[in-house]
C-alpha cells in the first residue's frame, strides 16, 4: 500500500532531507585515502549524534552501523570496519538514512578517492546521471514507476553496464522502506503504479561495471558484492511529489 503524505508530513520529511544533504556537503570532502570505512561511518554518525538525529539503519534487522560504506566491488550494505582502509583509486559509496522528529530521509553518494581510473570515473559519472534521468522521468505528468527504470537502465545499458535487479528504490518518509518498490530495470512482471501527488520516493540506481549479478556475503549476511568482482556505483536521492511537481529533497 502506497502511503501518500500530506503537506505537514512532507515539510517534516523535507527538514530531515535537508539535514542529510547538509551532512553530505560538510563531511563528504573530508573522506580521503588512509581513513578506514569505520572512520567514515564515525564522521557521519558523530555529526548526527551532536544534533540528536536518529540513525534508523543502526539496528535495522540487526545492521550494526549508522551508515553503509561500500568500497569498489561492494554494491551496497558494506559494514564499516577498522580493517578496511581507503586507498587512492578506490570508490566508496556512503548510504545513509537520517531521522528527525520521526521523518526519515535516505541518500547515497559515491566518492572517488584520489585519482580513480578513467573507466571507474565514467561509471560513477554515468550512475549519477542515471539518478537524475530517473528523477526527470518521475517528474513528467502522468509518469509511472517503471518510467524511472526505463530511464535509468536505458543510459546504463548504452554504456554496457549491469543494472542491479536484486535491490530497488522504495517509498520512504514515515518508514525507511515503504511501497512502492522502485526497480531500476523494466519488467512486465513488476507493478507499475502511477506517480501521484503525496508520494515520497528514494530513487537509487545501483550500476555495475560488469554483470548485473550480485551476491551477499555468507558470513556477515549483509555485504552485497558484484559477482564478477568489478566495481559498482550507487547514487540516491529522496524526492517528493507536491502541488508544484517533483522536488528533490536531499539537495541543498
Residues numbered 199 to 218 that lie near Co ion (CB under 5 A) are: 202, 204
Residue 63 vs 132, nearer CB to ligand MF3? 63
CB 162 within 8 Å of CB 83: no
Footprint on this chain of ligand MF3 (rule: CB under 6 A): 57, 60-61, 63, 68, 77, 95, 97, 106, 202, 204, 236
Q: At closest approach, how far in Å is the CB of 141 from Co ion? A: 25
| Exposure b/e, 182-201, CB count within 10 A at least 16 = b | bbbbbeeeeeeeebeebbbb
Distance CA 169, CA 205 (A): 8
Residue 39 vs 204, nearer CB to ligand MF3? 204
Which member of 39, 84, 90, 106 binds Co ion (CB under 5 A)?
Answer: 106
Give which of Co ion, ligand MF3, none residue 60 binds (C-beta under 5 to 8 Å, depending on kind).
ligand MF3
Residue 156 vs 202, nearer CB to Co ion? 202
Is residue 184 classed as helix, strand or coil in its secondary structure? coil
What interhelical angle do 118-139 and 145-158 show, nearest 10? 160
- Pick from 135, 156, 149: which is nearest to 182 by CA? 149
Give which of Co ion, ligand MF3, none residue 240 binds (C-beta under 5 to 8 Å, depending on kind).
none
Q: Is 39 in the site for Co ion (CB under 5 A)?
A: no
Residue 39 vs 204, nearer CB to Co ion? 204
Residue 132 vs 167, nearer CB to ligand MF3? 167
Q: At closest approach, how far in Å is the CB of 85 from Co ion? A: 26
Q: Which helix (H) or strand (E) holds 50?
A: helix 37-50
CB 112 within 8 Å of CB 120: yes
What length is written for the chain?
A: 252
Point out which residues bind Co ion (CB under 5 A): 106, 202, 204
Amino acid at each position: 500500500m502506497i502511503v501518500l503524505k500530506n503537506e505537514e508530513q512532507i515539510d517534516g520529511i523535507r527538514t530531515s532531507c535537508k539535514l542529510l544533504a547538509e551532512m553530505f556537503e560538510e563531511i563528504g570532502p573530508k573522506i580521503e585515502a588512509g581513513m578506514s570505512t569505520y572512520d567514515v561511518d564515525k564522521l557521519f554518525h558523530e555529526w548526527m549524534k551532536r544534533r540528536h538525529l536518529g540513525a534508523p539503519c543502526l539496528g535495522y534487522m540487526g545492521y550494526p552501523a549508522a551508515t553503509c560504506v561500500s568500497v569498489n566491488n561492494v554494491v551496497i550494505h558494506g559494514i564499516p570496519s577498522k580493517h578496511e582502509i581507503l586507498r587512492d583509486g578506490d570508490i566508496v559509496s556512503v548510504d545513509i538514512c537520517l531521522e528527525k522528529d520521526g521523518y526519515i530521509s535516505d541518500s547515497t553518494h559515491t566518492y572517488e578517492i584520489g585519482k580513480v581510473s578513467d573507466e571507474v570515473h565514467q561509471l560513477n559519472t554515468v550512475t549519477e546521471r542515471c539518478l537524475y534521468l530517473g528523477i526527470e522521468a518521475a517528474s513528467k505528468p502522468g509518469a509511472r514507476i517503471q518510467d524511472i527504470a526505463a530511464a535509468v537502465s536505458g543510459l546504463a545499458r548504452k554504456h554496457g553496464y549491469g543494472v542491479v535487479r536484486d535491490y530497488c528504490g522504495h517509498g520512504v518518509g514515515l518508514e525507511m522502506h515503504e511501497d512502492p518498490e522502485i526497480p531500476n530495470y523494466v519488467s512486465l512482471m513488476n507493478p507499475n503504479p502511477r506517480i501521484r501527488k503525496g508520494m515520497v520516493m528514494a530513487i537509487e540506481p545501483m550500476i555495475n561495471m560488469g554483470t548485473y549479478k550480485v551476491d551477499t556475503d555468507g558470513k556477515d549476511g549483509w555485504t552485497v558484492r558484484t559477482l564478477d568482482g568489478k566495481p559498482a556505483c550507487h547514487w540516491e536521492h529522496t524526492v517528493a511529489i507536491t502541488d508544484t511537481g517533483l522536488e528533490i529533497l536531499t539537495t541543498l
